[in-house]
Amino acid sequence: MDKLYYYFPFLESIRDFFELGGNVLYLIALISIIMWALIIERIMYINRQHKNNFNKAVSIWSSRADYSSLYAQFTRARLVSMVSQGLVKNTELINTCVVLCPLMGLLGTVSGMIEVFQVMAFSGSGNARSMAAGIFKATIPTMAGMVAALSGIAMSTYLKRKVSNQRHLIREALVLHH
């Protein structure tokens, strides 16, 4: 393992950070990895698969002879819905991960503070220096959760904007009257 740290010194810093922050950091990291995997999947979907679905819906709509009947309106609504459903898949799961990150951070901070106060109660020490060190250690999970959530919020907002724009484009592309 020391050889690995020699070639990749940043790994030692990451290990130290996880040791300092406690076990909750592993949960925050797992949630962050899941969140980013979903974000990357959504970006890839919008840039690749959605274009195919969009073009397929436009092709189906354009091949129709009738654009104004009640059946045509239902067909248009179904096509818009089909394309829209693909766009919003997993977005709520991304939002859930965004919300979970700071909550897990707070859980880590609260459990860390409980640990600090337990040590103080058992040792009978009111040493400000050791208390400050314990509080510092306890706030690491909150910071990690907030950083993960902030990056997730930024990407979630980006995805919402892309979805909204694409929904608008499909509604415009499938006009009722030709």
pLDDT band, residue 154 (cuts 50/70/90): very high
Phi first, then psi, for residue 66 (nearest 5°) are: -115, 130
Interatomic CA distance for residues 43 and 106, integer angstroms: 30
Q: Is the pLDDT of residue 178 over 90?
A: no
Residues 73-105 have pLDDT tens digits of 898 999 999 999 999 999 999 999 999 999 999
In 3D space, the residue among 126, 105, 129, 107 whose CA is nearest the CA of residue 117 turns out to be 126
pLDDT band, residue 121 (cuts 50/70/90): confident
Going by C-beta distance under 8 Å and a sequence separation of 6 or more, which residues neighbour residue 160? 91
When pLDDT is averaged across residues 16-25 and rounded to a whole number, the result is: 80
Q: Is the pLDDT of residue 158 over 90?
A: yes
When pLDDT is averaged across residues 141-150 and rounded to a whole number, the result is: 94
Give the residue extent of every domain in the chain: 2-173
Interatomic CA distance for residues 168 and 172, integer angstroms: 6
When pLDDT is averaged across residues 143-157 and rounded to a whole number, the result is: 95
Assign 3-class secondary structure to the chain: CHHHHHHCHHHHHHHHHHHHHCCHHHHHHHHHHHHHHHHHHHHHHHHHHHHHHHHHHHHHHHCCCCCCCHHHHHHHHHHHHHHHHHHHCCHHHHHHHHHHHHHHHHHHHHHHHHHHHHHHHHHCCCCHHHHHHHHHHHHHHHHHHHHHHHHHHHHHHHHHHHHHHHHHHHHHHCCCCC
Token reading at 108: 């880590």
pLDDT band, residue 119 (cuts 50/70/90): confident
Amino acid at 24: V
Packing angle of the helix pair 128-173, 50-62 (nearest 10 deg): 20
Q: Is the pLDDT of residue 44 over 90?
A: yes
pLDDT band, residue 125 (cuts 50/70/90): low
Percent of all residues in the chain with a pLDDT value above 90, rounded to a whole number: 51
Q: Is the pTM of this model over 0.85?
A: no
Instruction: Supply the pLDDT for residue 118.
Output: 80
- CA geometry: angle 149, 165, 53, nearest 5 deg: 100
Percent of all residues in the chain with a pLDDT value above 70, rounded to a whole number: 92
Interatomic CA distance for residues 175 and 76, integer angstroms: 8
Q: Is the pLDDT of residue 177 over 90?
A: no
Amino acid at 133: A
Instruction: Supply the pLDDT for residue 96.
Output: 97
| Count, residues in the chain | 178
Query: Average pLDDT over the chain, rounded to whole?
Result: 87
